[in-house]
Chain A
Amino acid sequence: MSERNYTTVNPCIMCQPIGSVMAFKGIEDSMVLLHGSQGCSTYMRLHLAHHFREPVDIGSSSLSEKGAVYGGSENLKKGLKNLILRYNPKVIGVSTTCLAETIGDDISRIISEFREEEGIGAERIIIPVPTPSYEESHNSGYIKAVEAIVKTFTMDESKKAIFNNKLNVVLSENISPEDTRELKHVFDSIVGHNSYILLPDISETFDAPMTGELHKIQPGGTTHADIADMKNSAATIGLGITNDNKAVNYLEQTFDIPSQNLPLPIGLEYTDRVLAALSNISGAEIPDEFQKERGRLIDAMVDSHKYVYGTKVAIYGDPNNVLGMLSLALENGMHPILVVASSKSPRFAEQAMERVKQVKPDCDVTILEDVDFDTFNDAVKKAKPQMLIGNSNGKYIAKEMNIPLIRFGFPIHDRVGAQRILTLGYKGAMRMLDRITNTILEVEDTELAAKWSEPESYVPLGESGFHSAEA
């Protein structure tokens, strides 16, 4: 629109609790209970069901007026009790909403009272996470929940520390189940199947195979033993570099575990970095399989380079995903003119600019963060990209400007297969590049077809064509 100071128009971000839900869904045998009114849990269930196309159960303390006035302790306890009765989870994440935070409920205290009153034993773990919706975004909610999970599981001093010589891998950004599976394959192949602990792991819980059975809680997720064992590991890798990975910091500060934060392995170089780090840390050779895969990726890049070169692209979404996609675009000679992170991250802009300087210093790029879609749309209109890469909410501007949208990130609610989109690793880069290239070819085909129908007026692609785009 134009200058706005007070209104957010079409939000790019979601609130903190949904981020915490995504983290908890990557833990074995866990449920989440949102302390707030009924709507919060229902909206998040709806949102996640749309994206993952799976049943998503999230409890609610269903706060009513009485609870809001006199405190929500009674409702929270009842909610926990009923959740345990019906789902019997080993782990319950209790995330607050803006309502619970504002009425000032002390959820840690209420949980302790509940444990005592109901005689809940140590075998059932309840993890409080304060996630007021009026602070930050879903990304920070995710990071906070992952930290709370690690803290809770590693807190038990009585368990003797036994060095396990494993590698911790802590995600600071939500990635797709397919991406998670690919990551696990990479780690399995390089550091070994039982030599690393990946947290959180949504590969099964948000993409369960169809068996005819409906599980109350989807099997899968990082095991409890593994999370508890993270304090005994040899090293930690944090994936995602735009924000602080609180769990990684905690493990380093508390248990002296050396750590390294790396970008999400999206595109050739970022994947190289992660694989090289793995090889360094574990001392293992990178298997030939990945050298071959990398070679195939380069082959694909060569195949595609003439089609994608100079294509003006706008990339938007969650910060680490966007940074990775920016890197992939740059490596392939594309021209990322607009790079937008939905939320504010301490190092997003700096990292993005550094990557641009490394590969394409003359690239005229606009980097934005913490903006709504209205601002993003304005920027798109000004920058006139030929392609958008990001989540479903970019469809409005893509339609208006008649440019293709490559769907990637969260949420994708208007197409099937969000849970199966592969972006990570060499394989993911190949898939992504193929999608991008084929989209360009598709557009050209359609444009050329229109021109072929009038042979007289046939001219090579002009301004609107992909090839002629100014780098």
Chain B
Amino acid sequence: MPDTTSVVDTLDERKPYIELKQANKSGELACDNTSIAGAMSQRACVYSGARVALNPVTDAVHLVHGPIGCASYTWDIRGSLSSDKETFRTSFSTDMKELDVVFGGEKKLSKSIDELVELYNPPVIFVYSTCIVGIIGDDLQAICKEATERTGIPVIPVQSEGFKGTKSDGYKAACHALMQLIGTKEPEITSEYRINILGDYNVAGDVWLVKPLFEKMGIQVITSMTGDATADSISKAHGAQLNLVQCSGSMTYLAKWMKKEYGIPFTKVSYFGIEDLSIALRSTAEFFGSEEMMNIAEEIIEQETNRIMPEIQEIRSRLEGKTAAIYMGGAAKALTLIKGFRELGMETVIIGTQTGKRDDYKQISYQVKDGTVIVDDANALELADLLVRQKADLMVAGVKERFLAFKLGVAFCDFNHDRVIEFEGYDGFLNFARELDTTVNSPVWRYVGSKIGDSCTGKNGAEETTDSTAKAGTIKKIDGDNNMQKINPITLQQEPVA
């Protein structure tokens, strides 16, 4: 049982999910369970997992079978980019009404599929089931099978009823859908070295900064799943000799299946941060055992690192010593971020994920320093409390956490769907560093918690030039006055002025 007594005030049930990393003390963090009712989890549902993992398939029709809300809130949800078709940005829904719920939505779904085939002639249709479909028992498998036979277009069911587990189960449902396509076409082979990029969603164009590196090494990238993937490229994925898995939470399941089904091995990699990116390139070259490829990889690593280093160093000088909080959907990204921060001179003080597994948290525990808080399925109040207690200067997370951090005067970087700049590859890491510099070192934070007149008396404003002094004057507090379980108001201690 992790020691949580001094970590954070929360529901008793939540305590096993929060751990303070301490030397010689290794607790087993509870994880991989459904969220606790009323605990205000930052997680979504099975459908959400399936949707985010599968949605970037660019030329597919993504049809949501359910009432309008599920389609409405996930319209164009990922900032994934496409090099060709934009069909995936369109939100299709059967918009089930009361009568469909009473009499079943099967007919409407069949007709909807026919309609979409006629209008769009897509290479594939993914049909997502929502909560209500699971309850009324529409036979998605049968309808899709019939539709495939009738239309000649693969119509693939995605069993993603929202209540049937967690977001991770949604990833699995997405993988199952991809399995239906893989192996249905033969690839044209242009190189003796072939890989698939798995678990990259081409958010803001990430893949476009990574794929050329492999191609320079003489490797053919058959498909990247699912960022900027087409139905055609996915169907040829079995032609690869190696799968590189980045987002392990969503794609390991598929990689394991491909190993079993096609004998394709996989390695876990990350394209974020100089160190992890170098490891990805080197280990790939090592796998193929080509000396020539290894030389090219080394050349890329050296040249690219030298190219971006001067600016990285300059930014690092402004970030050195700052503390970071990480709250991610998946554990792979959280892990690689710890290293990325270190490369910029920053230390992680809070790290959490929505869908991490036991092994992930073990890995994380090895990576972070004593005194770091590790948390699974954190909720808004815990995160707010932790940001203050752990004195984080910056938080990296998604939109729901953004305004929570802002209200507490904590800098923020979006590493989620909302991001519009690339963070992967060499230029991506430079972008990341610039973004941190922009938010951490912005003068806006010195005004948080200030009152009229403060700037005249030097409590904030122009007189103060360093950030530590700027932050010191700020009162950060989570209001807990009207709490039944009395939680003392939390006040950030005055930092010693350097």
Tell me, in angstroms, the Cα distance from A87 to B479 when the chains sit together: 10
Assuming the A-B contacts A2-B119, A134-B67, are A212 and B93 also in contact, with contact meaning beta carbons closer than 8 angstroms in the complex? no
- Residue A79, interface by CB 8 Å: yes
- Residue B189, interface by CB 8 Å: no
B403 adjacent to A53 (CB under 8 Å): yes
- Pick from A44, A82, A374, A393: contact of B36, CB below 8 A: A82
B485 adjacent to A18 (CB under 8 Å): no
Interface residues of B in 44-66 (CB under 8 A from A): 44-48, 63, 66
B475 adjacent to A88 (CB under 8 Å): no
Question: Interface size class for chain B?
Answer: 35 or more
- Residue B421, interface by CB 8 Å: no
Q: Which residues from chain B contact A79 at a C-beta distance below 8 Å?
A: 37-38
Expressed in whole angstroms, the minimum distance between the Cβ of B162 and any Cβ of chain A is 4
- Residue A161, interface by CB 8 Å: no
Stretch with Cβ within 8 A of A (4 or more), from B97-105, B142-150, B296-304, B462-470: B97-105
A4 adjacent to B119 (CB under 8 Å): yes
Q: Which residues from chain B contact A301 at a C-beta distance below 8 Å?
A: none
B100 adjacent to A134 (CB under 8 Å): yes
CB nearest to B477 among chain A residues = A213
Q: Which residues from chain B contact A5 at a C-beta distance below 8 Å?
A: 111, 115
B478 adjacent to A8 (CB under 8 Å): no
Expressed in whole angstroms, the minimum distance between the Cβ of A206 and any Cβ of chain B is 11
- Residue A99, interface by CB 8 Å: yes
Tell me, in angstroms, the Cα distance from A102 to B476 when the chains sit together: 44
A85 adjacent to B484 (CB under 8 Å): yes
Tell me, in angstroms, the Cα distance from A98 to B38 when the chains sit together: 18
CB nearest to A2 among chain B residues = B119
A15 adjacent to B47 (CB under 8 Å): no
Expressed in whole angstroms, the minimum distance between the Cβ of B130 and any Cβ of chain A is 8
Q: Which residues from chain B contact A13 at a C-beta distance below 8 Å?
A: 68, 72
B11 adjacent to A82 (CB under 8 Å): yes
B119 adjacent to A42 (CB under 8 Å): no
A65 adjacent to B94 (CB under 8 Å): no
B69 adjacent to A212 (CB under 8 Å): no
Interface centre among B39, B46, B68, B134 (most CB of A within 10 A): B68
Q: Which residues from chain A contact B131 at a C-beta distance below 8 Å?
A: 36-37, 68, 97-99, 102
Assuming the A-B contacts A98-B131, A99-B162, A102-B101, are A393 and B40 also in contact, with contact meaning beta carbons closer than 8 angstroms in the complex? no
B37 adjacent to A76 (CB under 8 Å): yes
Tell me, in angstroms, the Cα distance from A64 to B43 when the chains sit together: 13
**Chain B proximity mask over A396-417: 1 for CB below 8 Å, otherwise 0:** 0000000000000000000000
Q: Which residues from chain B contact A132 at a C-beta distance below 8 Å?
A: 67, 98
Q: How many residues of A contact B (CB 8 A)?
A: 78
B163 adjacent to A65 (CB under 8 Å): yes
- Residue B41, interface by CB 8 Å: yes
Q: Which residues from chain A contact B34 at a C-beta distance below 8 Å?
A: 38, 62, 64
Stretch with Cβ within 8 A of A (4 or more), from B171-179, B249-257, B404-412: B404-412
Q: Which residues from chain B contact A61 at a C-beta distance below 8 Å?
A: 37-38
Expressed in whole angstroms, the minimum distance between the Cβ of B472 and any Cβ of chain A is 12
Q: Which residues from chain A contact B47 at a C-beta distance below 8 Å?
A: 39
B40 adjacent to A133 (CB under 8 Å): no
B98 adjacent to A210 (CB under 8 Å): no
- Residue A45, interface by CB 8 Å: yes
- Residue A444, interface by CB 8 Å: no
13 more A-B residue pairs beyond the given contacts A83-B38, A133-B69, with a C-beta to C-beta distance below 8 A:
A6-B111, A8-B94, A14-B72, A36-B163, A38-B45, A39-B45, A56-B403, A60-B41, A61-B38, A86-B40, A87-B381, A87-B483, A135-B98
Q: Residues of A at under 8 Å CB distance from B? A: 1-2, 4-11, 13-15, 17-18, 29, 33, 36-40, 42-47, 49-50, 53-65, 67-68, 75-76, 78-88, 97-99, 102-103, 132-135, 137, 208, 210-216, 374, 393
The 3 closest A-B pairs by CB, nearest first: A212-B449, A39-B45, A15-B69
Can you list 14 A-B pairs with a CB-CB distance of less than 8 A? A40-B162, A43-B44, A57-B40, A61-B37, A64-B163, A65-B165, A82-B36, A86-B39, A86-B483, A133-B67, A211-B449, A216-B478, A216-B482, A216-B483
